[in-house]
Amino acid sequence: MAHIAIFLMPERGHLLPALGLIAELVRRGHRVSCPVPDAFTAPVTECGATAIPYETTLPGVLPESLYTAAQLALVEAESMLPQLEDRFRQDPPAVVLWDIAAWAGGVIARRLDVPSVLLESFLTSNTHWSLGASVMPARTFDTDAIRFFTRVQEFLGGSLPEFVSGARRRIALFAREFQPEGDTFDERYVFTGPCLTERRFQGTWTPPGDTPVVLATIDAQTCADAARGMPWHLVAKGEVANPAPNVEAHEEVPQLAVLEHAGVFITHGGLCGVMEALHHGVPMIVVPRMTDQRLNGQRVEELGLGVVLDRVTVEGVRSLVGQLTSDSAISARVKDMRRMIHQSGGSALAADVVEEELAR
């Protein structure tokens, strides 16, 4: 079996969507190496892969602006490459999978002259629809921008679009039906839907009898205040002062276990969480923080899968939880999207794409 290297941005929304693919490749007998900082060793090793430690430069919370986040991604790649290149020269992979924000992986694949596959954890782009054009305002070429794009070109050995096009295939970790202009993407793009796994490292969770469940992974205190006296049970991620009897708060939430029983998900709208909710047939209240999350929220609303809020308020949460749990049209559309996601192929299809590249 083959040695496969997988480079992921060390951030939950980039690493968690790929865990099912990692586990499936290991199950098929491949040896998978995944560079991660210490904080993400447990998820990778639980899947059976080898975690290769390195020091990250990323902050605990990414900035709201994708342009600023791209600057941080470049610093991370510049730091990551010298830490890892020799390791993979000594133990070269047969194929490299790299996250759209983990540029060091693509550079190592090119320097080792091995095939690479791009993992898409954001909505993707072609000539018909562009993520960058949709979420990033046009920039004048000020001194800072010129300096940044010059550094990008020097690191990658060319422009970012040219660099990305060097990957022969793209695995989009979400449903084609959620992608704007999804029917215009050719066979290079494989929309697998989310690649989920058990995530025992997050712990377990038991529902409180037959009480309807709401999951909130943002603004725990406001959501807890909204839940007080309501006929539903809130599971909140974060600290809550003086919680009502129908509220439980945790530093870490076993999200998949809770979504299995949830009726509503209150989220910032990262694509990972959105796909996990839809996989379980859960409508959403999306309160975006980052620019890509706002686009995901708009897509949720366009498709009738939930609603978007500019900010969390007690009145807004109470009203919208009631609306989403009683609206039969939203329920029907969410169930339809769940069916399409379950038919997308998931981890098995994603692993098939990787093995097709190995067989070339």
Residues 6+ apart with CB under 8 A from 227: 214, 233, 234, 244, 246, 247, 317
| Same fold: 3-193+345-359 with 200-342 | yes
Per-residue pLDDT of the chain (360 residues; tens, 9 = 90+): 899 999 999 999 999 999 999 999 999 999 999 999 999 999 999 999 999 999 999 998 889 888 899 999 999 999 999 999 999 999 999 999 999 999 999 999 999 999 999 999 999 999 999 887 776 666 566 888 889 989 999 999 988 888 988 898 999 999 999 999 999 999 999 999 999 999 999 989 999 989 999 999 999 999 999 999 999 999 999 999 999 999 999 999 999 999 999 999 999 999 999 999 999 999 999 999 998 999 999 999 999 999 999 999 999 999 999 999 999 999 999 999 999 999 999 999 999 999 999 998
> Which residue(s) pair with 6 in the sheet?
97
Q: What's the Rg (C-alpha) of the chain?
A: 20
Amino acid making up residue 242:
N
Q: Long-range contacts of range 144-153, CB-CB < 8 Å, 24 or more positions apart? A: 148/70, 148/71, 148/74, 151/74, 152/74
CATH architecture of 3-193+345-359: 3-Layer(aba) Sandwich (3.40)
**What CATH number should be reported for the domain whose range is 200-342?**
3.40.50.2000
Q: Output the six-digit token pair for 19.
A: 């865990």
Pairing type for strands 262-267 and 213-216 reads parallel
Sequence ranges of the domains in the chain: 3-193+345-359, 200-342
56: enclosing H helix or E strand: none
DSSP letters spanning 208-225: -TTS-EEEE-S-HHHHHH
Residue range 82-98, pLDDT digits in tens: 999 999 999 999 999 99
pTM of the model: 0.95
* Helices of type H across 91-187: 103-112, 131-135, 143-156, 160-164
Rounded to whole angstroms, the Cα distance separating 205 from 3 reads 35
User: Which contiguous run of DSSP H or E holds residue 344?
Assistant: none
Residue 24 has what pLDDT? Answer: 98
Q: Give how far Cα 63 sits from Cα of 73, 172, 193, 246, 287, Å.
A: 11, 23, 26, 33, 15
Closest Cα partner for 74 from 141, 154, 173, 172? Answer: 154
Q: Position of tokens 């975006």?
A: 288
Tokens of 293: 């999350």
Average pLDDT along the chain? 95
CA neighbor of 57 nearest in space, from 5, 112, 22, 102: 102
